[in-house]
Amino acid sequence: MKKRKRRPLFWVLISALGIILLLAAVFFSMLPKPQSVSDANFALAELTDGLYQGACDNGLVFAKVEVEIQNHAIAGVRILEHRNGMGQAAEVVADRVTDRQSLKVDGVSGATYSSQTLLKAIENALSHGNAIVSD
């Protein structure tokens, strides 16, 4: 008799697990997709020295950055805010952008959304072309 009592409970648990997985799949399919980044939206040669701010919100990840331009080059990228869940490792992309002087850098494996959100925030800062503080 005990086997018969466990069998219906087993199927109830399997059904509940299936419903939970289905709901999770629907939820995650509705999340916003990361925005793409393109070097084409700004030219360093056209930017004046100063600090530029930009932000990007991809739903799960938000980033606000400040980019310093000196002598038509990226002197540094400071992350002002990064709401990232578990994507803090992606913050190294700021240093990669400074080193390569380009947004065409590798993201961080396991922190793809955060990497793409930070890169888009940097692009937004530079593509608007308005320095918030001039040197």
| Res 58 pLDDT > 90 | no
Instruction: Look at residue 2 and tell me whether its pLDDT is greater than 80.
Output: no
pLDDT of residue 73: 93
Question: Is the pLDDT at 10 greater than 80, yes or no?
Answer: yes
Percent of the chain with pLDDT over 90: 53
- For the question of whether the overall pTM of this predicted structure is more than 0.85, the answer is no
68: containing domain = 39-128
Same domain, residue pair 16 and 64: no
For 103-134, the pLDDT digits (tens) are 999 989 989 889 999 999 999 999 876 667 55
Whether 18 and 55 map to the same domain: the answer is no
Question: Tokens 């509705």 sit at which residue?
Answer: 30
- What band does 59 get if pLDDT is binned at 50, 70 and 90? confident
Regarding whether 9 and 64 lie in a shared domain, the answer is: no
Q: Is residue 104 part of a domain?
A: yes
Mean per-residue pLDDT over the chain, rounded: 85
Quickly count: other Cβ atoms within 10 Å of residue 48's Cβ: 12
Above 60 in pLDDT, residue 40? no
Q: Where are the beta strands (DSSP E) in 24-92?
A: 50-57, 62-70, 73-83
**Same domain (yes/no): 14, 55:** no
Question: Which of 32, 33, 38 is closest to 120 using CA atoms?
Answer: 38
Same domain, 118 and 60: yes
Count of structural domains, the chain = 2
Neighbouring-strand partners of residue 77: 67
97 is written with which tokens? 């952008």
